Structure 1
Amino acid sequence: MSNRRLEGKVVVITGASSGIGALMGEGVAREGGIPVLMARSADKLEQVASRINGEYGLYRLDVTSSEQVFAVMEQVLARYGKIDVLINNAGYGVFETIEKAELATIEDMMDVNYMGTVRCTKAVLPAMLKAGSGHIVNIASMAGKIGSAKSSGYSATKHAVLGFTNCIRQDLMKAGISVTAVNPGPIDTPFFERADPSGQYVSNVKWFMLRPEQVTEAVITAIVKRKAEIDLPLMAAAGIRLYQLLPRLFDRVAHRMLNKK
């Protein structure tokens, strides 16, 4: 009997060309699964695929295109006959105060981060419902639970992802399909090359940042154990609970700690 935790599982990963998406592809392969990597950049996907030992799939995908999302997921189903796990990881952030933030940027973040998650979920759901099994993992964020300055656009997208995740978990409770929300704090990935080009925020929170490998392992464990939600790191998870109990007091006390952008 294999001791690899995802043996034979077909695992679709969006936003797989860099950061935790790329590492999750490698992690799934190590655990005996078949990572199906998706992102807009075919060249970057090829680079990720070169580090994977074993079978994998590779598809160019723009999650803002409904037509493309449904067509690509159909191709995956035609090739493998199933999708066991969908990891909705595609997303990005831009940190700016609300008065300076461009409306077009806020709209695009919502289209990628939230609607991309919705599109991909809708595209794989009929096959999972027919099979009576499956697992949808949505990479949200601590920013979806606690607001901070310069995060209005990004945080709103992650609030939306969390709301969507919690609702479909109820919808699918008796369908044999698990739904997981993953809420990491800041991760040391290329995400911040776009979100924080000055490097100020990264410099201020470097001590607190998660290693991408930590998040990857947490996601794989959540899939295996079918956890409903994980918050990372533990310190931030404790802060979330305090915020939920005393939100206005937390706002005042944590203002200087949170607003490092």
Structure 2
Amino acid sequence: MKNQVIVITGAGSGLGASLAKKYSEIGAHICLLGRTENKLKDIGRELPNNYSIHTVDISKLSDVKRVFDSITQTYGQIDLLFNNAGVGSFDLAEELSEEDIHNMIDTNLKGTIFCSQEVLKQMKKQNSGTIVNIVSTAGLIGKATESVYCASKFGVKGFTESLVVELTGTPISVFAAYMGGMNTDFWSGIFDQDKTSKMMNPDDIAEIIMDNIKPRKNIAIPEIIIKNVK
């Protein structure tokens, strides 16, 4: 991965930050994408190698186009995209606000689609690349108080599986990671520390994903499921 260009959405914390650090350690250039510049700067200061910061609202196609055009013009390629950014609001279906619903669908589903569209244009030109969609086990099974969050993630699952079919026979690969809850800021204000401390470590998840997307002769791994030990 040395000198490759890796784009990570939601890079300011959690799994995105873990992936950024681990790929930076092996010499990749990391493009840190997120809404909050200060959080991205904090992560950037922890990286041992080259990185760049790109503030973006992935729910807006014009903003996504702006950032991806800038990255390709500056670095000439994008080798790996992690669609990692996500938001969640959890309550009974009838209690979710219109804003919450739009936010989850726009960020989790539309954001993944918009970023994938833009990176595919470049990957098809360079005839190489990998897209990794961080989906969550909420994309596999319905859960109480997570109806719209699950709906957004089920949408990402369908989009990902369709991309796999579209790109069959090309040198571009698509990978989905379905994991349970991780001990990150995502759950701040939702679960207490006792519960989050029993969740998975994002560094462990990053290592598992990195190992599974390594190119191997005559092997394709389109998805993995990673669950908490109960």
Match of 2:126 in 1: 131
Give the match's secondary structure for 1:156.
Answer: helix
Give, in whole Å, the separation in 1 of the partners of 2:226 and 2:108.
19
Match of 2:222 in 1: 228
Give, in whole Å, the separation in 2 of the partners of 1:10 and 1:81.
9
Q: Could you report, residue by residue, the CA deviation over 1:231-252 in whole angstroms, capped at 9, with x for unpaired residues? A: 113769xxxxxxxxxxxxxxxx
Match of 2:25 in 1: 30
Q: Could you report, residue by residue, the CA deviation over 1:114-141 in whole angstroms, capped at 9, with x for unpaired residues? A: 1000000011111101111100000001
Match of 2:117 in 1: 122
Give TM-score scaled by structure 1 length: 0.82
Match of 1:218 in 2: 208
In the TM superposition, 1:88-237 aligns within 5 A as 88-193=83-188, 197-199=189-191, 203-204=194-195, 206-207=197-198, 209-225=199-215, 227-233=221-227
Which residues of structure 1 form unaligned runs of 5+?
1-5, 237-261
Higher helix share: 1
Greater C-alpha radius of gyration:
1
Give, in whole Å, the separation in 2 of the partners of 1:118 and 1:134.
16
Write out the 4+ residue segments of structure 1 that deviate beyond 4 Å after TM superposition: 202-206
Count residues in correspondence.
226
Which residues of structure 2 form unaligned runs of 5+?
none
How far off its partner does 1:205 sit? 6.8
Give TM-score scaled by structure 2 length: 0.93
How far off its partner does 1:183 sit? 0.6
Give, in whole Å, the separation in 2 of the partners of 1:135 and 1:85.
5
Q: Could you report, residue by residue, the CA deviation over 1:120-172 in whole angstroms, capped at 9, with x for unpaired residues? A: 00111111011111000000010110111100011111111111000001001
How far off its partner does 1:58 sit? 1.1
Identify which of 40, 46, 50 aligns with 1:51. Answer: 46
Distance 1:102 1:203, change over 3 A: farther
Distance 1:198 1:54, change over 3 A: closer
RMSD: 1.6
Q: Could you report, residue by residue, the CA deviation over 1:189-215 in whole angstroms, capped at 9, with x for unpaired residues? A: 00001xxx2525x645753x1111111
Q: Are the counterparts in 2 of residues 180 and 222 from structure 1 also a CA contact under 8 Å?
A: no
Give the match's secondary structure for 1:99.
Answer: helix
Give, in whole Å, the separation in 1 of the partners of 2:114 and 2:100.
19
